[in-house]
Structure 1
Amino acid sequence: MRRGWICFTFFATLAAMTRFSIPSSAIAVNRSGSGGPVIVSIPHAGRIYPPEILAAARVGREQLERLEDSWCDLIAGQAADRGATVVQAVWARAVADCNRGEGQMAPGEVALPLRAQFSAPGRKERAGLGVIPTRLADCGSLWRFPIDRHGLNWRLESFHRPYHVALSRELARARARFGHAVLIDLHSMPAIPAGQPGHGARIVVGDRFGRTADDRITAAVVEEVERLGVSVTRNQPYAGGHIVSAHGRPDRSIHAVQIEIDRSLYLHPDRSPDHRAVVRMSEWFGGLIERLAGIAPGEDEVPLAAE
């Protein structure tokens, strides 16, 4: 039997044996002792690669790591101490991209029986950046064979769906206690190329052009970025992905904002953490959480001590 078929058989066997169980190691939830209305989502900083994922890959782990928002979880290092609940992906983005919807795949990237359900791919999906990343520039296809039904379901049931269930649960918990909830979806980005909207910005704040958060929430985030002393844009070139679109419901008092941070603000050129820069960014992010915790959308800001 060829090695590729062994990989696929392993996916199928694993799915059948586990009946799509949810490994607790795929997601980490860190609740603040004091609690607050802010939930921090970190979907792309996971660094664990399950062995079946590495076995199915046609590229090395170092290529799969290019998908990561390298070490951006360090920016949220003070988040729980400042009153936020942190929902973090522990498994790597190569397993499944929690910031894509389940229907976001290009038909050519999946096995023939699945193609009908992925019939309208967008730009990101055509580039191989769907709910399961399948291609990267300069290294071609990431996987030995197209994603089959067993491989797709295993990834969704083990990682993608539990992540969104955890976010929904924590947002509902915060809204029940405080009357509203604020979701910050934290990401990192490469420098925005010249000629692209937002070029020169070091942080991009996205709320789907006002659809996923009250304007006072988004404006407060922008103001805090300006206090950091770096350039910021709103919704250009990143307006927010699936996470803020799926969970941001201002009409239900759940507000969601995506934050993209230029990696040069906290990493060395080799993408290793710059300790001093990480401390600066984590202190800033902690202050942002405290600021957002003092805002009740539709009302005046109140001192944090009044919460």
Structure 2
Amino acid sequence: MSVPHAGRIYPPEILAAARVPQPMLERLEDSWCDRIAADAQDAGAVVVQALWARAVADCNRGEGQMAPGEVDPSLRQEFSAPGRKERAGLGVVPTRLADCGPLWKRPIDAAALNWRLESLHRPYHAALTSELAAVRERHGHAILIDLHSMPQIPAGQPGHGARIVVGDRFGTSSADWLVDLVMNAAQRLNVPVTRNQPYAGGHIVRTHGQPDQAVHAVQIEIDRSLYLAPGRTVDAARMAGLTRWFGELVADAGRAERGRDALPQAAE
């Protein structure tokens, strides 16, 4: 289990560098989605969770994902091909939000970037790499579920109306059997579900999902309105239902993988 965007700790260095108040930085969070994963460990998963806020560094972006205009001039040649999200200020260091303008008092320089990467981004991915390797060593395979929350998908955008989005990088980060299992589980919630639209999966599943090496990774995005009340507070009853559902999904994924692997061995 990976929960990269639910961290709620803001180091003093981050608050000192910000030109906006903390509530603005909190808009970057996948608010309280770590609570959805509360039963995952009891269901058999190892949970790797970021405790520091996404404002420090976005673990679902690669180290090279920044727009040149968002960094100090001395770093611009390192970030020469930004994508849409990076140009919008949502790179490995978030730098802008709609209605906020720049988040930081000055452009991100080499020292600030390296501190953020060394303090959160690199340890997070090292932990994922280590745990996946250990699971595959023990069982011959590993499953990674990368959990996120999302705002409601606007009209006119692919996937509009979906409340849960399952991403597998268009078939490259996981075998279909796991994606089918997750899609079927999501449909039991009786809400609209899409695959890869508009979220196909980010840096985490792209980097760690290697189905040809028996590591299968999927990203799950859950509409926040399924578990939050107005004011970004937790709706306790709906959260409890999602937590039970997610714990059952984790347990089902483990059982399905074990059963699936037994069949080829018998046929051989």
TM-score bracket, normalised by the shorter chain, equals over 0.9
Deviations 1:21-63 (A, max 9, x none): xxxxxxxxxxxxxxxxxxx100000000000100000000000
> What is the one-letter code of the residue matched to 1:182?
I
1:37 match: none
Local SS of the residue matching 1:76:
coil
Matched, 1:190 2:151: yes
Query: Which one-letter code corresponds to 2:249 in the other structure?
Result: L
Count of matched residue positions in the alignment of Structure 1 and Structure 2: 263
What CA distance in whole angstroms lies between the structure 2 residues aligned with 1:159 and 1:194? 35
2:106 corresponds to which of 136, 145, 166: 145
- The residue number in structure 1 matching 2:234 is 273
For residue 295 of structure 1, report the CA deviation from its aligned partner.
2.0
Q: State how 1:112-127 maps to structure 2 within 5 Å.
A: 112-127=73-88
1:68 to 2:62 alignment: no
Amino acid at match of 2:218: V
Tell me the equivalent position of 1:7: none
Between 95-104 and 227-236, report the one with greater CA deviation.
Answer: 227-236
Tell me which residue corresponds to 1:18. Answer: none
Alpha carbons 1:204, 1:238 under 8 Å: kept = yes
Q: Indicate conservation of the 8 Å contact 1:213/1:255, yes or no.
A: yes
Quick check: 1:79–1:285 contact (8 Å CA) kept in 2? yes
Structure 1 position 165 matched with structure 2 position 145: no
Counterparts of 2:108 and 2:245 in 1: how far apart (Å)? Answer: 41
Shift of 1:297: 7.8
Deviation per residue, 1:275-299 (Å, 9 max, x gap): 0011000000000001100122893
Cα 1:83–1:298 shift into 2, 3 Å: closer
Q: Which of the numbers 44, 51, 55 marks the counterpart of 1:90?
A: 51
- Root-mean-square deviation over aligned CA pairs: 1.2
Structure 2 CA distance, aligned partners of 1:218 and 1:301? 19
Report SS of the residue matched to 1:58: coil
Q: In structure 1, what residue type is equivalent to 2:31? A: S
The superposition leaves residues 236-290 of structure 1 with CA deviations (integer Å, 9 ceiling, x where unpaired) of 0000000000000001000000000000111102111110011000000000001
Partner of 2:60: 99
The separation in 2 between residues aligned to 1:87 and 1:158, in whole angstroms, is 15
Map residues 32-47 of structure 1 onto 2, 5 A cutoff.
40-47=1-8
Distance in 1 of aligned mates of 2:203 and 2:191: 26
Closer/same/farther in 2, CA of residues 179 and 81 from structure 1, 3 Å limit? same
Alpha-carbon distance between aligned partners in 1 of 2:126 and 2:106, rounded to the nearest angstrom: 29
Residues 1:301 and 1:142: Cα distance change in structure 2 (over 3 Å): farther
Which of 147, 156, 159 in structure 1 is aligned with 2:117? 156
Unpaired runs of 5+ residues, structure 2, are 264-268
Q: 2-side partners of 1:118 and 1:48: how far apart?
A: 28
The within-5 A match list for 1:280-299 is 280-296=241-257, 299=260
2:180 equivalent to 1:219: yes
Q: Amino acid of the residue matched to residue 181 of structure 2?
A: A
Find the aligned partners of 1:297 and 1:64 in 2 and give their Cα distance: 42
**Following the alignment from structure 2 to structure 1, what is the Cα–Cα distance between the partners of residues 258 and 62?**
28
Q: 5+ unaligned residues in a row in structure 1: which ranges?
A: 1-39, 303-307
Structure-to-structure mapping, 1:245-264, within 5 angstroms: 245-264=206-225
Cα shift readout 1:62-87 (whole Å, capped 9, x = no counterpart): 00000000000000010111111100
SS at match of 1:228: coil
CA drift of 1:300 comes to: 6.5
- Partner Cα separation in structure 2 for residue 170 and residue 300 of structure 1: 20
Letter in 2 for 1:189: M
**Structure 2: how far apart are the matches of 1:158 and 1:197?**
35
Aligned counterparts of 1:278 and 1:298: Cα–Cα separation in 2: 30
| 1:255 counterpart SS class | strand
Give me the whole-angstrom Cα distance separating, in 2, the residues matched to 1:149 and 1:89. Answer: 23
Runs ≥4 in structure 1, deviation > 6 angstroms? Answer: none
Give the TM-score of the pair, scaled to structure 1. 0.84
Alpha-carbon distance between aligned partners in 1 of 2:171 and 2:258, rounded to the nearest angstrom: 14
SS for the counterpart of 2:36 is helix
